Structure 1
Amino acid sequence: MKVLHVVPTFYPATYWGGPIWSTKAICDGIAKLDDVDLRVLTSDAAGPAINDRVTPTKLPYPVYYAHRMAGHCIAPQLLLRLPRAIQWADVVHVTGTYNMPTLPVFILARALGKPVVWSPRGALQATQDWPDAPNLAIKRGFEHVANLLRPRNAVLHVTAAQEARQSLRRFGGMAHAIIPNAVDVPAHVPRRERQGPKRRLMYLSRLHPKKGLEALFDALAHLPATFTLDIYGTGDASYVRMLEARARLSNGRVRMHGHVEGAAKSAAFAQADLFVLPSHSENFGIVVAEALAHAVPVLTTQATPWQDLDRHGCGRCIDLPNVDLAAQIAALATCDLVDMGQRGRAWMRRDFSTAAMVDGFEALYRGLVMQKRQEVIA
């Protein structure tokens, strides 16, 4: 089975956040299957600046990084390679929304009769959830055109039932498959000890208005001085400068660390007592799973698909517009956060394994290929 992934940006372009890791995890797992030939077609964009380019790393499958000429991922060489690449593939998996690769993939796959899996990675849900989302008119135009051009046998991949409901309000009648992201659960994490009244809050994600960071700054101002906040991530330069200015007014209670990954990310989790993601919209929120995998309990919002935090006893999922975030943090901080973190870690190990995710995509891909073969025979 020949599988083509078309994605605007790909590992090691980790500036773009969780979807980079999620897409790589899919590719890593699928490429290990005995009868699968996997290829990736992407741009070389490593960040928003036109000269931010990835340095390709050796991977066990071929990745072509087309030269980004403008915008987020406008890469003419990617478009030039698409026809032959899609002709080669048995199934095409396109990731991303409101960017260059998606519509050309739809057009070519439809013309060549190739099945498509589309992972919008929360963009459709964010547009549905977030009334202040930028460029709404342009996005609606994109959606209208995409709905007209998408292949008949295209399947929308979503990571949770909540993302499915919100996305299908914009693409009604489209087939969909729910396959959650996987998370790596470290074999060992440092043992945490209770630190008296001190509570180290942690945020790790893209720095963007939809993530609710400003609400978190406001909440911290109403919490005792024993609460501190460590922020990890990058984003638009002007927005980051605004957050840095607010951090400087916090008397050292807010520390901004920039982007971290690998061992540095694990070390950041090891210093945290409670992970807070007050997001206004998340299709999955891989950072929630990562925090739990590192035995850090989580406070997040009902705009994420993590309502089961309460049921598993490893955090809390709140209705952000209608509750006091500071009061919720303070209440959760009185709980046994060490035990809560261990329950979250056990949950991740049990239900969010890489094997389960790969099995889901393998079944989806093979089902689409078999359906196509049956149509040809008929």
Structure 2
Amino acid sequence: MNVSLIIPSFYPAFIYGGPIFSTYHACSELAKLNDVNIRVSTTNTNMNSRLGVETNKWIPLNDFYVKYYNESIIDKFSLSLFFNIWKDIKKSDVVHIQSIFNTPTPISLIYSKLFRKKVLLSPRGSLGEWCLDNGNKFKSYWLKYAIKPFLKNVVWHSTAQQEKNEILQIFPTAKVEIIPNGIEYEKFQINNVYSTKKYIGRFLNLDVDADKIVVSMGRIQQKKGFDILINAFIDVIDIYPTAKLLIAGEDEGELSALLSLVEKINLTESVFFIGSISGQDKIDFLANADLFVLPSHNENFGNVYVESLAAGTPIVASTNTPWSEVEDGECGKWVPNSIKDTSDAIIEMLGRDRETMRLNAKKSAQKYDWKNIAIQFKNLFERMVKS
């Protein structure tokens, strides 16, 4: 079975965050399964620059192949992809298109329709109400004229029931399959163990201790709700005066405003931004914290939530994310992303037994191992080919 995966950006374009890692790992695990041949068609965009990769040729990567088309206008349009993607689609049995508001999507939908290919379409969270409301009016025209006319016989992929509901709200007759994102579970079971003082020295280079360590992670943008978290931390400091909040992530234009907020509410000795981290540093960052909090305005999945759970750290997630299950698993809170609800949830979670939370968190995360997710994708692709 030949699967053509079409996505605007791909590994190693890490600047785009979670979706790059999730797609890479999904392809890697799928390629290990019998009778699945994966070819990824993408561009060499890296947001504000281009990746240093060869273009317009198939490059082997972890038992699958990637072709990077050169971006004519960085992060906007690839003339090379426009004229050549049909060759990749024609050789496939199933076409898996990821993203909605990117030029490769309607181009690929058109060619897939011409060649009568089975299509799985993943919106990657772009159809959430917050995302649409905070876009421009052009998005509604894009959906109406660039996407809707080519949706006959397309199967949609969502990562959670919440995202399925978002798809159906816009396209009521859509056929939607739910397959969550995954995680390299075993990788998150190995971490260095730090005292709070050593942890602060490691990530902040400060010689101080702390009552509690709360962390967050994500691209520094408005969607993530970091302003809500920072304001909520005022109440946390009342209970735990030396608590520290560490926020990791690449700045996407919001950092300056958030630093001003921290200064305005006098939390410069409590709230810190540490930039982007990855690899073992990321695992140690999550595993040694007392709590992970991300009051996002919208997430179709949110890989970092399950990464935190896999590392053994409980979470506070907003009801704009699909993480209600942490309430039943007794490893987190799922609350509206208001300042009061967020601060109350943080204080409640910090009062719970840390070791019990560690065991519950790991147990909840285990089912998201990429090996299990890859099998779900293979089964879906096989059903689509036979239908």
TM-score by length of 2: 0.88
Q: 1:17·1:205 contact (CA, 8 Å) conserved in 2? A: yes
Q: 1:109·1:151 contact (CA, 8 Å) conserved in 2? A: no
Equivalences for residues 336-347 of structure 1 within 5 A: 336-347=353-364
Deviation (angstroms), 1:134: 2.1
For the pair 1:162 / 2:162, whether they are aligned, the reply is yes
Deviation (angstroms), 1:352: 1.2
For the pair 1:304 / 2:321, whether they are aligned, the reply is yes
Q: 1:234·1:240 contact (CA, 8 Å) conserved in 2? A: no
For the pair 1:84 / 2:84, whether they are aligned, the reply is no
In structure 2, the residue corresponding to 1:181 is in which secondary structure? coil
Deviation (angstroms), 1:198: 1.0
For the pair 1:359 / 2:359, whether they are aligned, the reply is no
Deviation (angstroms), 1:267: 2.2
What letter matches 2:218 in structure 1? S
Give the 3 Å change call, closer, same or farther, for CA 218–131 of structure 1 in structure 2.
farther
Identical-residue share of aligned pairs (%): 29
Counterpart Cα distance in 2 of 1:297 and 1:190: 18
Q: 1:229·1:255 contact (CA, 8 Å) conserved in 2? A: yes
Deviation (angstroms), 1:30: 1.4
Which residue number in structure 2 is paired with residue 202 of structure 1? Answer: 215
In structure 1, the residue corresponding to 2:293 is in which secondary structure? strand
In structure 2, the residue corresponding to 1:27 is in which secondary structure? helix
For the pair 1:212 / 2:213, whether they are aligned, the reply is no
Which residue number in structure 1 is paired with residue 6 of structure 2? Answer: 6
Q: Which deviations, in whole Å up to 9, do the C-alpha atoms of 1:243-286 show, x marking residues without a partner?
A: 23334552331221111111121121133110001011110111
Counterpart Cα distance in 2 of 1:358 and 1:324: 36
In structure 2, the residue corresponding to 1:117 is in which secondary structure? strand
Equivalences for residues 1-378 of structure 1 within 5 A: 1-47=1-47, 49=48, 51-55=49-53, 59-60=61-62, 61-125=64-128, 128-129=129-130, 132-135=133-136, 137-185=137-185, 186-190=188-192, 198-224=211-237, 225-237=241-253, 239-247=254-262, 250-321=267-338, 323-349=340-366, 351-371=367-387
In structure 2, the residue corresponding to 1:68 is in which secondary structure? coil
Q: Mean Cα displacement is larger for which, 83-92 or 353-362?
A: 353-362
Q: 2:229·2:339 contact (CA, 8 Å) conserved in 1? A: no
Which structure 1 segments of 5+ residues have no match?
372-378
Counterpart Cα distance in 1 of 2:50 and 2:259: 22
In structure 2, the residue corresponding to 1:365 is in which secondary structure? helix
Q: Mean Cα displacement is larger for which, 151-160 or 115-124?
A: 151-160
Q: Mean Cα displacement is larger for which, 277-286 or 53-62?
A: 53-62
Q: 2:11·2:20 contact (CA, 8 Å) conserved in 1? A: yes
Give the 3 Å change call, closer, same or farther, for CA 130–103 of structure 1 in structure 2.
closer
Q: 1:45·1:54 contact (CA, 8 Å) conserved in 2? A: no
In structure 2, the residue corresponding to 1:40 is in which secondary structure? strand
What letter matches 2:270 in structure 1? R
Counterpart Cα distance in 2 of 1:284 and 1:242: 26
Q: Which deviations, in whole Å up to 9, do the C-alpha atoms of 1:200-239 show, x marking residues without a partner?
A: 11111121111111111111133223221111111323x2
In structure 1, the residue corresponding to 2:15 is in which secondary structure? helix
Deviation (angstroms), 1:39: 0.7
Which residue number in structure 2 is paired with residue 376 of structure 1? Answer: none
In structure 2, the residue corresponding to 1:28 is in which secondary structure? helix
Counterpart Cα distance in 1 of 2:172 and 2:133: 22
Q: Mean Cα displacement is larger for which, 64-73 or 283-292?
A: 64-73
Which structure 2 segments of 5+ residues have no match?
198-208
Counterpart Cα distance in 1 of 2:125 and 2:53: 27
Which residue number in structure 2 is paired with residue 374 of structure 1? Answer: none
Give the 3 Å change call, closer, same or farther, for CA 322–354 of structure 1 in structure 2.
same
Which residue number in structure 1 is paired with residue 200 of structure 2? Answer: none
**How many aligned positions are there?**
364
Deviation (angstroms), 1:91: 0.6
In structure 2, the residue corresponding to 1:12 is in which secondary structure? coil
Which residue number in structure 1 is paired with residue 204 of structure 2? Answer: none
TM-score by length of 1: 0.90
Give the 3 Å change call, closer, same or farther, for CA 165–216 of structure 1 in structure 2.
same
Q: 1:229·1:253 contact (CA, 8 Å) conserved in 2? A: yes
Root mean square deviation, CA, Å: 2.1
Counterpart Cα distance in 2 of 1:115 and 1:131: 27
What letter matches 1:133 in structure 2? N
Deviation (angstroms), 1:132: 4.2
